[in-house]
Chain A
Amino acid sequence: MKIKRPKRAESYVPTASMADIAFLLIVFFMVTTTISVDRTTVQLPTSMERGETPKDSAVIVVEENGVVHFSDGEEGSRVVNPSDILPSAAFIMSKNSLKFFLIKADGNVQYMAVDQIMEQLRQAGVRNIAMLTEQESVG
């Protein structure tokens, strides 16, 4: 007597959950990426020592040609007059006296451009400052 075998199961790759995986990845990237407030490209100076800075810090950008951008950390950066930082910084400090200010200056600018900004931040009573740098390669 011939034994009837059960019908062979059809082989296939399960793709139903692929979309779930992909959307999970999208959500992950959307949550982890921070929308940067400034997209100016500058040639940052390099340093060995580098610390993490808070995400919602105010940013002051100095381009190589001396153009200064300012952002309070929430809105996108806008071009400002280099001597007009004091009122903006003072306003931010009145809301949050521990606010971090990031100085994103091109490594080739003359120091006086940075000095002018530091002086205004000092007058505004800013305490926490960080100078953004690129990682210095060893050697």
Chain B
Amino acid sequence: MKLKRPKENPEIPTASMADIAFLLIVFFMITSVFSVTRGLEFQLPRQDTATESTPEEAVHIRVEPAGNDCVFIVDDGQMALRDIAVYLMPKLARNPNKFVIIDTAPTAPYRCMVNVFDELKQAEVKNISIPTEAEKAAWGRIM
């Protein structure tokens, strides 16, 4: 006698596939870190064609540490950070290529210098000069 076997439909179980995939998504989302890739850009001058910003014509901003914060001395007068843009506006209107030198004291916090730089960028200053200590020494007194 021939036995009749119940025939099963062959199939691959795919119901849990979505669960696995979503688990992977969650894993990647948790482990990935969002890296900051935005910031203030600037270009250093090429060494051969370095345009010397003559201190007499340039606006000179000295950043000095003051406790936890900083003071900004713009052309010999102390100024609040927000007033720098106002001070620069007429000068930039007359000469859009006006040089602005950011002279940061070595002991001043880095964020103060970034604040000034940000302020100048917002005021659309084209020529921002950030002399390093070695350059300042080469210039002699830049004030």
Contact = CB atoms under 8 A, between A and B. Distances in A.
Interface stretch (A1-9, A79-87, A119-127): A119-127
Contact of A129 (B32, B42, B46): B42
A129 B28 CA distance: 31
Interface residues on B, range: 35 or more
B110 A108 contact: yes
A39 to B, nearest CB: 6
Contact of A107 (B104, B114, B135): B114
B39 interface: yes
A112 interface: yes
A109 B35 contact: no
B39 A108 contact: no
A106 interface: yes
A96 to B, nearest CB: 15
A138 interface: no
- Residue from A22, A30, A48 with most neighbouring chain B CB atoms (10 Å): A22
Interface string B6-34: 00000000110110111011001100110
Name A's interface SS.
Answer: mixed
A114 B108 CA distance: 11
Given A18-B17, A29-B29, A111-B105, A46 B40 contact: no
Interface stretch (B52-60, B72-80, B116-124): B116-124
Given A29-B28, A119-B132, A119-B134, A133 B41 contact: no
A29 B26 CA distance: 11
Interface string B122-135: 10000000101111
Given A107-B114, A115-B106, A49 B40 contact: yes
B84 to A, nearest CB: 13
Given A18-B18, A136-B118, A53 B38 contact: yes
B35 A38 contact: yes
Contact of A22 (B22, B108, B133, B134): B22
Given A15-B15, A22-B25, A111-B63, 11 more contacts: A22-B17, A22-B22, A29-B25, A33-B28, A36-B33, A53-B41, A109-B110, A115-B104, A115-B106, A125-B46, A133-B118
6 closest A-B pairs (Cβ-Cβ)? A22-B21, A107-B111, A36-B35, A112-B106, A19-B17, A45-B111
8 contacts: A38-B35, A47-B39, A50-B39, A53-B37, A118-B44, A118-B130, A128-B44, A130-B40
